[in-house]
């Protein structure tokens, strides 16, 4: 299939590489050119602009940093205008519910199909082609995308016909990660307050009732106080918690845990910890308790 790929970051690059491996033709653009060259060495066709990548594509995949970068590439960068009629755009980044609604309208108006397809899984999972893909959009478009998704992920979860539903589900999942980190942070502060070793407590909890990837990964970082280099920056975590709260407010859903977590993230930023790994959220609980 002829695929345009916009955004070759830490996640986008291995996803695009897997498309090449599966035999698809990939025309790729990235804001900075180096990853484009690297992907070209794997067989991709380099594009100097989003529009250049998009022309002739049957399917366009975008995996950009946030709403602004996505809007920039698709609108200012001309990708949307360049796409052939009836092409399918699958936006696999974590963006706002608002953007999904706006993009669904813009695509429809041009005779294009818009699918939201954010993913669960980090870089190593993307490299292995084992992502879980949360997809929402028109049925026809999802059928077209299935072989594309199959090259990048182990499973596609179809969560609805309106694209923003996939974003809502993804934001709900990311909120749960924030809550897991936040809960470990407070639990550790309590345990440490009584002289219990944080590393032992986290080892215990993550090898029993909480033996899940999220807890093991962030738990180890908290135990080791290892917040650099950041696997996923705290400030991006804040972005996602905010988007979750916004998505919830749109449908009048109050989220009291999410609000508390938002406050804790902002406190992290006030203490210059936004560039650290998301696990550094644990420092806020410790700081409030006078432990650091």
Interaction residues for its own copies, span 203-222 (CB under 8 A): 204-205, 208-215
Binding segment toward its own copies, per CB under 8 A, in 17-25, 26-34, 48-56, 170-178: 170-178
Question: Residue 7 or residue 153: which is nearer to its own copies going by CB?
Answer: 153
* Count of chain residues binding its own copies (CB under 8 A): 77
Give the range of 9-17, 27-35, 224-232, 284-292 binding its own copies by CB under 8 A: 284-292
DSSP string, 178-233: HHHHHHHHHHHHHHHHTT--HHHHHHHHHTTTT-SHHHHHHHHHHHHT---S-SSB
Residue 115 sits at φ, ψ, to 5 deg, of -125, 135
Residues 6+ apart with CB under 8 A from 122: 11, 231, 232
290 touches its own copies (CB under 8 A): yes
Distance CA 29, CA 208 (A): 44
Taking CB under 8 A as the rule, does residue 279 contact its own copies?
Answer: no
Cis peptide before 229 (omega within 30 of 0): yes
Which of 170, 216, 220, 239 is catalytic? The answer is 170
Stretch that binds its own copies, among 8-16, 103-111, 141-149, 247-255 (CB under 8 A): 247-255
Tell me, yes or no, if 220 is annotated catalytic: no
What is the pairing mode between strands 25-29 and 2-6? parallel
**What is the number of other CB atoms lying within 10 angstroms of the CB of residue 141?**
22
**Backbone torsions φ then ψ of 100, nearest 5 degrees:** -60, -45
Per-residue x/- track, 88-117, its own copies (CB under 8 A):
---------x--------------------
Q: Which helix (H) or strand (E) holds 269?
A: helix 256-270
Q: What is the CA radius of gyration of the chain?
A: 20
Q: Considering the complex, state which of residue 25 and residue 154 has its C-beta at the smaller distance from its own copies.
A: 154
| Shortest reach from residue 292's CB to its own copies, in Å | 11
Q: Shortest distance, CB of residue 73 to its own copies, whole angstroms?
A: 24
Question: To which H or E segment does residue 144 belong?
Answer: helix 139-152
State which residue, 22 or 191, has the beta carbon closest to its own copies: 191
Which of residues 85 and 272 has its CB atom nearest to its own copies in the complex?
272
Please list every residue from 24 through 83 that binds its own copies, using CB under 8 A.
none
With binding defined as CB under 8 A, does residue 253 bind its own copies? Answer: yes
Active site residues: 170
């Amino acid at each position: 299939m002829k695929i345009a790929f916009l955004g070759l970051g830490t996640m986008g690059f291995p996803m695009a590489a897997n498309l090449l491996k599966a035999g698809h033709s990939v025309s790729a653009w990235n804001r900075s050119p180096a990853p484009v060259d690297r992907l070209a060495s794997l067989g991709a066709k380099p594009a100097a602009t989003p529009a250049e990548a998009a022309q002739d594509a049957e399917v366009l995949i975008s995996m950009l940093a946030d709403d602004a970068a996505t809007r920039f590439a698709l609108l200012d960068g001309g990708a949307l205008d360049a796409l052939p009629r009836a092409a399918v755009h699958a936006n696999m980044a974590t963006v706002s519910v608002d953007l999904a609604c706006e993009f669904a309208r813009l695509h429809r108006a041009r005779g294009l199909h818009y699918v939201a397809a954010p993913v669960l899984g980090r870089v190593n999972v993307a490299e292995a082609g084992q992502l879980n893909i949360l997809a929402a959009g028109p049925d026809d478009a999802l059928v077209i995308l299935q072989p594309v998704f199959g090259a990048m992920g182990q499973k596609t979860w179809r969560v609805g016909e309106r694209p923003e539903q996939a974003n809502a589900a993804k934001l709900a999942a990311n909120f749960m990660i924030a809550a897991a980190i936040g809960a470990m942070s407070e639990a550790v502060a309590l345990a440490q307050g009584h002289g219990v070793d944080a590393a032992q407590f986290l080892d215990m909890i993550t090898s029993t009732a909480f033996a899940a990837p999220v807890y093991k990964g962030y738990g180890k970082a908290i135990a080791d106080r290892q917040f650099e280099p950041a696997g996923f920056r705290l400030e991006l975590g804040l972005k996602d918690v905010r988007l979750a709260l916004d998505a919830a407010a749109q449908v009048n859903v109050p989220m009291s845990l999410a609000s508390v977590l938002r406050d804790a993230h902002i406190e992290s930023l006030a203490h210059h910890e936004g560039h650290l790994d998301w696990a550094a959220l644990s420092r806020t609980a410790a700081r409030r308790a006078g432990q650091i």
